[in-house]
Chain A
């Protein structure tokens, strides 16, 4: 089972070494050999992404410097029929950039230039290896910024954001990556260049921009991205509310929306998450609360003053035991620091943690949290919950010890159950982290065979030989049949030594 994937031993390499040598020679006709990594110690850093429970040493790593080199690499791989896994910063949490032992790992890290900031058209043209935050930093002198802000934004790249359709804490008001793109340049599996989208707000034909976004490197290699920029709001203000009861906090979210307010950010943390975060960054959170809400509004000065007063009143009316509005920017930053550090904070109180990413219709939050608590008892593992409450995206963090025999497997089973619960209440198994390899079994719970067939048909239209990131995101129908059969036995797997793809 999955634990087998964590195997770290160097694999017997003979069957792959001749292919590696052959590819290295062909790549060397287009790239300096310094950017073709073949030795084990050079390849080792690429063996996993942000989900380190899964590791594979790639056959070979190649780091092209421009689009022409990407095309050359793709042409060679296509001719040789070698699979290719694209990688940005490797911060993904679902194993989407997990390499293949018989495949090329294509790092886009060297395509890291901001090509153009066009303030009159509110756009930035950047290479895929540019970090998310670097775009906003480059746009700031023009009073502009790039809205999607996944929590890994200091490290994650825009190419990876496109591949995963990354979100962040401001999605309710400003949308996901897909809502903030203008066009893409893509290299196809055959090494052809495609321009998807145009200079305007729409383009003729199918909306391939939407189809490419979140396709997890399965349809093409993104080599250039034009993103939408927005004017930086004049002011932002945040209110923090404490609740003695999670259900009340959930109701408060609905009450704020019913008030006609569209907060820029609306986040919830439960007791265990609050205490871990407070312990770590001293954000000033009330540690005895069952839940806190952080509600940020942005806009003009007068608008923000008016709205934050309404938010405050609403929160009190909804039963908050305490509401604090940040007195200044420093306090506002501190309120957010706790939320943004929630994952590492939980990392401090447990040897390992497993971060889940389901989305649910918000009204089901109390039920879902109750059931997660019950599962926590059942699996004998603690859980902390942080929640993008505005858009229903839940991040349960399952605490476990990877060195304790069986705990990783239990954590994965627990996580799998949470995702299936998300589907049961009408939600989805992944809001913003992607399916990757991690949630490929839960895809079987979310989609019936005909929909999966359609996904495979789309894949085949772009990549008939199945060379781009094979084995990720979309399970085969066979795998789902197997999963369904196994599932009936409720976690009691019959062939635990077998890898399941």
Chain B
């Protein structure tokens, strides 16, 4: 554990020199995400440790390899949390990987995604240059926002060595209500609740049950519990954690798991033969008998996109194809951050010109 940025810088510099593709790894908990990458491993997990954390500043700075669990424990001791509830998938996940993958937990529609909490980064670009963007303050519009696009770029623009994030106080009270309703009625119900000032921090539907997480002050949570009704879920933290980390039984299948991201109020799609609705309708986890083309076509017609989250048998690009001019812009940006195309090549999109 410590600062190995100079070693890493050298490795990237050498790889750039010899045009060697690098596969960036942290805790290796999300290796299944995105398109497969061929290359030498660039091990980032040893670049670890919290650099600074002052609870009253609501800002934490840590090296990319720091385990998420360590960060969560530290924040928890001060009744604070990462606002985006990053998945831990098996426990080895690192902060750098959590941000690079851009994944957000069940509170996404109300709290945020990694990009929203990210205030600044230190990164290694594809030439091995150590660059710093953003900072440790909440408001910063000096220069282009290079930090936030690192979230969800899957390491294709740079290796994230150090990250500064906005943290938030934990709510005083959390309760989960369960209501027995069918899918489309549940979606309508979630949307209706979202329009009112309900302290919702989770809304998920699966197998005829609607799960609503209320988080906030005691007074507020109790008042809304009475209004909404339903049954109180006993092991409620476990449920949301298992949803976040995909440990619910639903996720335990060998076939391709699709993630659909779309307009929240859309009723069940034809491709959603077996699905779990999260983010109050805006994220759907789907096992489908439809072809990739059919699924992507149906979702794209609604302005959304479909992603192969866990790959079953068969070859399919992980992400929805980018339109012509957008793809060109992506290639051009990639080329400028990583002129030799050595950082996780192809993981996010087809980089060939």
A interface with B by C-beta (< 8 Å)? 119-122, 142-144, 164-165, 167, 171-172, 175-176, 178-179, 188, 192, 194-196, 198-208, 210-211, 213-215, 218-219, 231-234, 254-255, 257-258, 260-262, 299-300, 302-303, 305-307, 359-363, 388, 391-393, 426-435, 439, 443, 446-447, 450-452, 454-455, 457-462, 473-474
Chain B residues within an 8 Å CB radius of A300: 197, 199, 216-217, 219-220, 223-224
With A260-B169, A454-B131 in contact, is A121–B265 under 8 Å at CB? yes
Of the stretches B25-33, B51-59, B287-295, the one at the interface is: B51-59
Chain-A contact segment, one of B9-17, B111-119, B248-256: B111-119
Most buried by B among A142, A201, A260, A439: A201
Interface, chain B (partner A; CB < 8 A): 54-59, 79, 102, 108-109, 112-113, 115-116, 125, 129, 131-133, 135-146, 148-149, 151-153, 157, 168-170, 172, 191, 194-199, 216-220, 223-224, 261-265, 279, 282-283, 302-305, 307, 319-320, 322-323, 325-326, 329-330, 332-333, 335-337, 348-349
A200-B282, A232-B197 known; A359+B305 contact, CB < 8 A:
no
| B145 contact from A165, A192, A232, Cβ within 8 A | A165
The contact of B125 among A231, A254, A454, by CB within 8 Å, is A454
Number of residue pairs across A and B with beta carbons under 8 Å?
259
Smallest CB-CB A-B distances: 8 pairs: A199-B303, A302-B219, A210-B148, A431-B139, A200-B261, A391-B138, A254-B56, A457-B336
A192 contact set on B, CB distance < 8 A:
325
A218 and chain B: residue at smallest CB distance: B144
Closest partner residue, chain B, to A234 (CB atom): B197
Whether B135 and A426, one on each chain, are in contact in the complex, defined by CB atoms closer than 8 angstroms, is: yes
B329 touching A122, Cβ below 8 Å:
no
A176 to B117, CA, bound (A): 11
Quote the shortest CB–CB distance from A433 to chain B (angstroms).
7
**Which residues of B are found within 8 Å of A462, using beta-carbon distances?**
329
By beta carbon, the residue of chain B nearest A362 is B57
- Distance, CA A198 to CA B325, complexed state (A): 15
Please give, as numbers and ranges, the residues of chain B lying within 8 Å of A213 by CB-CB distance: 145
Given contacts A199-B302, A428-B137, A434-B141, contact A120 B148 (CB under 8 A): no
Contact of A363 with B57 in the complex, beta carbons under 8 Å: yes
Nearest residue in A to B262 (C-beta to C-beta)? A200
When the two chains form the complex, which single residue of B54, B220, B263 contacts A303, counting CB atoms closer than 8 Å? Answer: B220
Q: Which residues of chain A have C-beta atoms less than 8 A from B279's C-beta?
A: 201
Contact A206-B139, Cβ < 8 Å, known A200-B263, A231-B196: no
A257 CA / B54 CA spacing, docked (Å): 11
Chain A residues closer than 8 Å to B262, beta-carbon distance: 198-200
> Do A432 and B141 touch across chains, with their CB atoms under 8 A apart?
yes
Known A143-B196, A362-B57, A363-B57; judge A392-B333 contact (CB<8 A).
no
